[in-house]
Homo-oligomer: A and B are copies of this chain.
Amino acid sequence: MSEPRKLEVLRAIVEDYVHSREPVGSKALVERHHLGVSSATIRNDMALLEEEGLIAAPHTSAGRIPTDKGYRLFVDRISEVKPLSAAERRAIHSLLEGPDDVEDILERTVRLLSQLTNQVAVVQYPHLSRARVRHIEFVLLAPRQVLVVLIADSGKVEQGVVHAAADATDEELTALRARFLGSIAGSQLDLMPQVLPSVVALCPPALRNLAGALAHGLQRLADRSRDERMVMAGTANLARSNVDFPLSIGPVLEALEEQVVMLRLLSDMAEDPRGVTVSIGRENPYDGLSEASVVATGYGPGSSAKIGILGPTRMDYPNTMAAVRAVARYLSRILGG
């Protein structure tokens, strides 16, 4: 038996199965792909592949379907990331034009990616730890309620409400704002824990309580940009692509709703030299996703934030990987990463 042909057979099985959603048998294979051998030979190869755990038969007299391991081999060694079609390129270019504050861009990007791939698309907000403080604002909502706004030079705005122990006045807030801004403007968000306490310490005693509360609020905002958020689109694709095929979509929806789960999942995916990382079926650390695959990659400064898609293990990996990669690249360019 020849090793190259065995791989060729695996490739054929994966491609046919992804396309037809049905177990594929030896005879159908030789017909659709012009491997120069007979079905009996293929059968031998398939037996070998099965022994190696790359494909499996749902029941005795059915065709074979790829296992997680099979997909893995396919992705790693066989498939080539196909270039996008011209139409797809055009879609990317045209859909990402328009107002460019971060939220808008991410929202449009994720929608685009879900349409290109017919899967659920997910994107992390860019990391802000390296971002710097551009501006802060304290706004008195009520005598003891202060709205704190933190503006980073990345263009991201965070906001939160702080409760003061005693009544505060506009004058006090203006003074404190000047103090804080003087110390932290231009410094990195992840250095805040070092800088903020000293600002509080230098305040006149009368203001110290209020300053402490505000510092705490600012810290929370800085943290919030670290424990990131995400945007997603295309959940309806889950239902569509699985009509009459049961990737039970419940657990997947649950995972998607637990943003923490998704964020960890994305963060934990190693960066792959080839540009996109794939996590297949039971490789996923989350149980509910044991029949799903994640295709993701980094974007932006240092590729620290991730963008990707989530779909059934039986998906068109080459095209999906191409789309994810292309969109991520384009996104990086726009965001100036």
- In the assembly, what is the distance between CA of A161 and CA of B155, in Å? 8
Copies in the complex: 2
B-binding segment of A38-46, A133-141, A200-208, A304-312: A133-141
Could you tell me the distance in whole angstroms from the C-beta of A213 to the nearest C-beta in chain B? 12
Nearest B residue to A104 via CB reads B160
Contact, CB under 8 Å: A101 / B235: no
Q: Is A287 an interface residue (CB 8 A)?
A: no
Q: Is A13 an interface residue (CB 8 A)?
A: no
Contact, CB under 8 Å: A149 / B149: yes
Q: Is A257 an interface residue (CB 8 A)?
A: yes
Contact, CB under 8 Å: A239 / B249: yes
- In the assembly, what is the distance between CA of A243 and CA of B248, in Å? 9
Contact, CB under 8 Å: A137 / B151: yes
**B residues less than 8 Å from A134 (CB atoms):** 139, 147
Chain A's interface size range is 35 or more
Task: List CB contacts (< 8 Å) of A214-253 with chain B.
Answer: 220, 233-236, 238-240, 243, 248-250, 253
Of residues A160, A220, A233, which shows the largest number of chain B Cβ atoms within 10 Å of its Cβ?
A160
Contact, CB under 8 Å: B147 / A151: yes
Q: Is A254 an interface residue (CB 8 A)?
A: yes
Could you tell me the distance in whole angstroms from the C-beta of A232 to the nearest C-beta in chain B? 10
Contact, CB under 8 Å: B149 / A151: yes
Q: Is A76 an interface residue (CB 8 A)?
A: no
Nearest B residue to A159 via CB reads B157
Nearest B residue to A156 via CB reads B159
- In the assembly, what is the distance between CA of A220 and CA of B254, in Å? 35
**B residues less than 8 Å from A153 (CB atoms):** 141
**B residues less than 8 Å from A220 (CB atoms):** 99
Rank and list the top 3 A-B pairs by shortest CB-CB distance, nearest first: A239-B250, A236-B253, A236-B254
Additional A-B contact list (18), CB under 8 Å, known A99-B220, A101-B160, A239-B249? A99-B160, A99-B161, A104-B160, A135-B137, A137-B137, A139-B151, A141-B153, A147-B151, A147-B155, A149-B157, A233-B257, A234-B257, A235-B253, A235-B256, A235-B257, A236-B250, A239-B250, A240-B250
**Chain A residues near B (Cβ < 8 Å):** 99-101, 103-104, 134-135, 137, 139, 141, 147, 149, 151, 153, 155, 157, 159-161, 220, 233-236, 238-240, 243, 248-250, 253-254, 256-257
